[in-house]
């Protein structure tokens, strides 16, 4: 029995849309409003309806959201940056409080799922991971959170970290991470042996931070693609950033894109402001799943970010030169369905039979929503309109 009707909505192309909901699921969608005596009626006033946003790459353990303003401190190397971060976090509010504040802010923008990388290494052990796991438990039913054990300080270059990654997998982490196997660790084969070995042994996914430039980075991607094929892990491996894909010539790009597509390796980009980044359209044309995330938000790495994935879609589109409605829809796909596929979300998206969780945005269509990222939004979770102001203030 239909319990709630969302009327006067706009579909992605701007056409009229009505959504009928029962038991928290979408039971019908179309331009016509059915006659359903007794159903609650919610008038969306012509706002466009979009799938809930998916943040495919965030760091809940690092952000200063919910804390005082922390002025950015310059650093000349990765190791120096790690030292700056460690000192800043020691002076910040408790991690759980900051993570709660960032989650509430992201939810208020319409994010319904995310993949969070959490630092683990031989010095901190699993302390950060356990904290964020507790926060995740408190958000069950409101935010789907997938956790990555992220070896920020290196795998082989930080002795004992392999054992910590193993322990994280045993503790129930969803994904095992890696980082710059050559430039940071100096031993690509050993790092990839460890990461892929843990993934296969514990049936977890893989997400590797890769900042290595040019042909060196592309070489690394070929290694990752080959190992993914050999292990039969297609669809379970992602590479975050992969800056090198924006550095190389078209012929080199086409070869690695084909290898990534064949292996089923996804690429995450946040369209960073000061760096070449993967060419989204060319990779997608080759069959590579490209998704997006906010990455760092107001932390020791950079002062920018709000947690708004619609704004991230706008930034990806802006930096990629997306002007047509079709390409703007592609930017939206990066922050919704593409990320949902990487996280393995079931029942996601605007389709009959799926969970009635979506975002209404004050814009006439999806392209306009991406181009301007309007602030006025309403989140509908399982068919119920959420009071996002109250949700944010209660966390």
Cα distances (angstroms) measured from residue 343 to each of 42, 56, 146, 149, 340: 31, 8, 7, 15, 5
Token look-up 């082989």 returns: 156
> Which CATH number is associated with domain 4-51+349-386?
2.30.40.10
Q: Please report the pLDDT score of residue 35 as a whole number.
A: 82
Q: Please report the pLDDT score of residue 390 as a whole number.
A: 45
The residue ranges of the chain whose pLDDT is under 70 are 388-395
Q: CA-CA distance, 110 to 169, in Å (whole number)? A: 30
Token look-up 């514990």 returns: 202
Cα distances (angstroms) measured from residue 145 to each of 53, 88, 221, 301, 380: 13, 25, 26, 22, 18
Token look-up 């466009």 returns: 48
Q: Domains of the chain: which residue ranges?
A: 4-51+349-386, 53-343
Q: Please report the pLDDT score of residue 388 as a whole number.
A: 59
Cα distances (angstroms) measured from residue 298 to each of 67, 68, 320: 10, 11, 23
> Which CATH number is associated with domain 53-343?
3.20.20.140
Structure tokens belonging to residue 357:
């969780």
Cα distances (angstroms) measured from residue 346 to each of 46, 147, 340, 355: 28, 17, 8, 9
Q: CA-CA distance, 64 to 94, in Å (whole number)? A: 10
Structure tokens belonging to residue 133:
């796991």
Query: Could you write out the DSSP letters of every residue in 134-179?
Result: HHHHHTTTT-EEEEEEE-TT-SSSSTTHHHHHHHHHHTT-SEEEEE
Q: Find all residues with CB under 8 Å of 307, minimum gap 6, and list them.
A: 55, 58, 65, 102, 105, 106, 109, 111, 294, 297
**Residue 334: helix, strand or coil by DSSP?**
helix
Q: Find all residues with CB under 8 Å of 117, minimum gap 6, and list them.
A: 57, 58, 59, 148, 150, 177, 207, 209
Q: CA-CA distance, 72 to 201, in Å (whole number)? A: 40
């Amino acid at each position: 029995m239909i319990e709630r009707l969302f009327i006067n909505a706009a579909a992605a192309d701007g056409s009229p849309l009505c959504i009928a909901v029962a038991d928290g699921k979408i039971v019908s969608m179309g331009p016509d409003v059915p006659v359903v005596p007794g159903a609650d009626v919610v008038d969306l006033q012509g706002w466009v309806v979009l799938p809930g946003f998916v943040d495919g790459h965030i760091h809940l353990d690092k952000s200063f959201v919910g804390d005082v303003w922390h002025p950015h401190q310059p650093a000349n190397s990765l190791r120096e940056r790690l030292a700056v971060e460690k000192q800043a976090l020691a002076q910040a509010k408790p991690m759980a409080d900051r993570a709660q504040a960032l989650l509430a802010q992201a939810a208020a923008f319409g994010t319904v799922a995310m993949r969070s990388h959490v630092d683990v290494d031989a010095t901190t052990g699993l302390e950060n991971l356990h904290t964020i796991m507790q926060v995740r438990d408190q958000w069950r039913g409101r935010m789907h959170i997938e956790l990555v054990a992220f070896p920020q300080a290196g795998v082989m270059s930080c002795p004992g970290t392999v054992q910590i990654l193993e322990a994280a997998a045993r503790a129930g982490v969803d994904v095992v991470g890696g980082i710059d196997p050559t430039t940071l660790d100096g031993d690509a084969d050993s790092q990839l042996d460890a990461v892929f070995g843990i993934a296969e042994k514990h049936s977890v996914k893989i997400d590797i931070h890769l900042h290595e430039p040019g042909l060196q980075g592309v070489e690394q991607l070929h290694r990752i693609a080959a190992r993914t094929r050999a292990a039969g892990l297609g669809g379970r491996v992602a590479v975050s950033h992969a800056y090198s894909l924006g550095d190389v010539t078209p012929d080199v790009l086409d070869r690695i894109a084909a290898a990534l597509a064949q292996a089923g390796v996804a690429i995450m980009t946040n369209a960073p402001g000061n760096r070449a980044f993967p060419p989204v359209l060319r990779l997608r044309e080759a069959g590579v799943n490209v998704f997006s995330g906010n990455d760092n938000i107001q932390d020791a790495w950079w002062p920018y970010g709000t947690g708004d994935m619609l704004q991230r879609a706008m930034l990806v589109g802006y930096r990629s030169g997306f002007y047509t409605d079709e390409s703007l829809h592609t930017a939206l796909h990066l922050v919704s369905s593409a990320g949902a596929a990487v996280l393995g979300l079931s029942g996601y998206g605007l389709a009959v039979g799926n969970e009635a969780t979506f975002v209404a945005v004050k814009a006439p269509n999806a392209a306009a929503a991406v181009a301007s990222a309007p602030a006025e939004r309403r989140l509908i979770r399982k068919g119920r309109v959420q009071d996002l102001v109250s949700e944010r203030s209660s966390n």
